[in-house]
Structure 1
Amino acid sequence: MTSTDDDRRFPVALAAALAQPFEYDDGDGVDFEPFDAFVSAGETTDWFRSWTGNKEVSGDVFRVFGMDGTGGYAAFWLVRPGRELADQPVVFLGSEGETGVVARDLSDFLWILADGVGPLEAIDAYDTGIDSRPNAELTAVAERFAPERRQPAATLIGLAREEFGGFEEEISRLCR
């Protein structure tokens, strides 16, 4: 793996996006609470062991950066060896066992957020579809850091699910 193993600083583009407010609007918005920094390696491992019920796993393949209102985590999944953190997929692991790939990488994640879709809403969209609610501030962030990647959230989520369709099964195999 690259230097992402030890580096717990947010990429500049992620920090810019997470500095924007996320409005839940009584259930009609984005249910996302970003953290100020990545969760520590030890805390991530403790959480992942508890979440899976498997004391033999570690959380080393995740960089947790936010959560939804129920305590589900949004994270980078370090599955692309030798690639930078911003090139890793974004995933969601819910408090009730929901799992899903949100975005293929940080650039796609910026545009998903810009379309008014958070990590939980992205995996919920697998079954319910996407309600686009463009956010001007997050669109400005996405245009600044990933102008060439602009696409609707539904398209980007579909591409992520296509590329990383085995994520749910892989996580399920780790659960006890």
Structure 2
Amino acid sequence: MTLTDDRQFPAALAAALAVPFDYADGDGVDFEPFEAFLSAEDTDDWFRAWTGNNDLDGGAFRVFGQDGSGGYAAFWLVRPGRPLAEQPVVFLGSEGETGVVARDLGDFLWLLADGCGPYEAAAPYGADRTSRPDEALTAVADRFAPDARRTAGAVVELAAEEFPGFDDMIMELCR
């Protein structure tokens, strides 16, 4: 598989994104999945606008959803030669929030299963990561990543430990 050409959802991601997300009047998951990855052109346009840097392209990202304010969730293709499912998941918010929210797709499935979306995982103001298990998403996570079971808090903590420089790297690209 060539990552630069891969615009198909992995089966595990497609299964998770097929489950409806409950916003619960602001107490649930603020996540709106896309039906497909953004095109390369749309990803480039978004990343240039987000950073204010027209010299960049968005080739290192596969955007698959957004929160209600327009922040994007994406795979960050930082592990050369590794499949998409082994790449970390990041969030770049409409108000400048950034964060690696999961180390890979398996962790992302458990983040969702525990009732936490990408926005909530990257929220800068100490988001409430109280476990709110979702039966349907837990079934997806059990099916595709049974050995990766952990709470949303643990998923976010492990991602931050593995990729501590993500926020700084992204901010250095901004103009």
Contact 2:29–2:120 under 8 Å retained in 1: yes
| C-alpha deviation, 1:128, in angstroms | 3.4
| C-alpha deviation, 1:3, in angstroms | 1.1
TM-score scaled by length of structure 2: 0.98
Q: Which amino acid in 2 is paired with 1:12?
A: A
Q: Which residue of 2 aligns with 1:130?
A: 129
Q: Note if 1:84 corresponds to 2:87.
A: no
Q: Which amino acid in 2 is paired with 1:171?
A: I
Q: Distance in 2 between matches of 1:53 and 1:26?
A: 33
- Runs of 4+ deviating beyond 4 Å: none
Q: Distance in 1 between matches of 2:115 and 2:22?
A: 10
Contact 1:114–1:142 under 8 Å retained in 2: yes
Q: Distance in 2 between matches of 1:128 and 1:51?
A: 23
Q: Note if 1:7 corresponds to 2:27.
A: no
Unaligned runs of 5+ in 1: none
| C-alpha deviation, 1:111, in angstroms | 0.3
Q: Deviations over 1:146-172 (max 9, x none)?
A: 000101111111000000010000000
Q: Distance in 2 between matches of 1:40 and 1:135?
A: 30
Q: Which residue of 1 aligns with 2:93?
A: 94
Q: Distance in 1 between matches of 2:125 and 2:148?
A: 21
Q: Which amino acid in 2 is paired with 1:71?
A: G
Contact 1:65–1:74 under 8 Å retained in 2: yes
Contact 1:129–1:154 under 8 Å retained in 2: no
Q: Which amino acid in 1 is paired with 2:48?
A: R
Identity %: 67
Contact 2:37–2:63 under 8 Å retained in 1: yes
Q: Which residue of 2 aligns with 1:63?
A: 62
Q: Which residue of 2 aligns with 1:22?
A: 21
Q: Which residue of 2 aligns with 1:112?
A: 111
| C-alpha deviation, 1:125, in angstroms | 6.9
Q: Distance in 2 between matches of 1:78 and 1:135?
A: 28
Aligned residues: 175
TM-score scaled by length of structure 1: 0.97
Unaligned runs of 5+ in 2: none
Q: Which residue of 1 aligns with 2:37?
A: 38
Note the aligned Cα RMSD (angstroms). 1.1
Tell me: CA distance 1:116–1:161, structure 2 relative to 1, closer, same or farther (3 Å): same
Q: Distance in 2 between matches of 1:160 and 1:72?
A: 19
